[in-house]
Amino acid sequence: MKVEGRILTRAVERLHRTRLIVPAAIAAVALTVPTAAAGMPRAPGHGGAAAVDHATAAKDPKVMLDSWIRLWNGDYGQAPGIISPAFQVHAALLDGGDGSSVRGLDGLVGMVRQIRAPFPDLRFSVEVGPLVDGHFASLRWTATGTYAGGFPGAGAEPGTVVTFTGNDTLRVKGGKFTEYWLNADTLSLVTQLRAS
């Protein structure tokens, strides 16, 4: 037990030194809805995908989550319709930060781009949700992607497929997402990447 604890402590210390701005859910994110039975329309792939009517989205958090999913799948054009200028992130980051430095539309899009960089084909599928309660919307996801390299300290070979899980909770105000709480199993991710 002591040896395992020391190994884990060393791995965490090395990750802190890398100063990544990769949230604990690395991507909580790029979500692909598997079926309409999940309570939301099917999310088409990014790139020329039809945009969600943002006037409708502002009235329905479930529709907003569809745009959220498209954003995380790399359709960055979804962000202006759903992300408030006052948007803020609450998450345990791999660099030890709390996400408070990630603000607004540009901050979020930058974070999504950075998260996707080592996993260009990253896709998330919704396991539970969306759940909506007043001004809050939440879902649980599973992410799968192929490691392309570039994750500091990773011993995994490019081409390694990784899978991890997490939860997203968002607050809606004025028809846009204003706060984001992210919780993911990053330990599973860094273990699969053999990060040291």
* One-letter identity of residue 3: V
User: What pLDDT digit, counting tens, does each position of 67-77 carry?
Assistant: 888 898 889 99
Higher-pLDDT residue of 25 and 143 is 143
Whole-number average pLDDT of the chain: 76
According to the per-residue pLDDT averaged within each range, which of 25-29, 55-59, 143-147 is highest? Answer: 143-147
Instruction: Output the pLDDT for position 1.
Output: 54
According to the per-residue pLDDT averaged within each range, which of 25-29, 92-96, 158-162 is highest? Answer: 158-162
**How far is it, in rounded angstroms, from Cα 137 to Cα 111?**
20
**How far is it, in rounded angstroms, from Cα 82 to Cα 160?**
33
Per-residue burial over 94-113, b = 16 or more CB atoms within 10 Å of its CB, e = otherwise: beebebeebeebebbbebbe
User: What pLDDT digit, counting tens, does each position of 167-195 carry?
Assistant: 999 999 999 999 999 999 989 999 999 99
Element at 49 (helix H, strand E): none
DSSP 37: G
In degrees to the nearest 10, what's the CA dihedral of 44, 50, 55, 59? -10
DSSP 52: P
Q: Using the predicted structure, report yes or no on whether residue 161 has a pLDDT greater than 60.
A: yes
User: What pLDDT digit, counting tens, does each position of 109-142 carry?
Assistant: 999 898 899 999 999 888 898 999 999 999 998 8
Tokens of 33: 């809805």
**How far is it, in rounded angstroms, from Cα 52 to Cα 23?**
26
Rounded to an integer, the average pLDDT of 152-159 is: 95
**Cβ neighbour number for residue 182 with a 10 Å cutoff:** 24
Q: What is the DSSP string of 67-103?
A: HHHHHHTT-GGGHHHHEEEEEEEEE-BTTS--STT-B
Cβ neighbours for 7, distance < 8 A, ≥ 6 positions apart: none
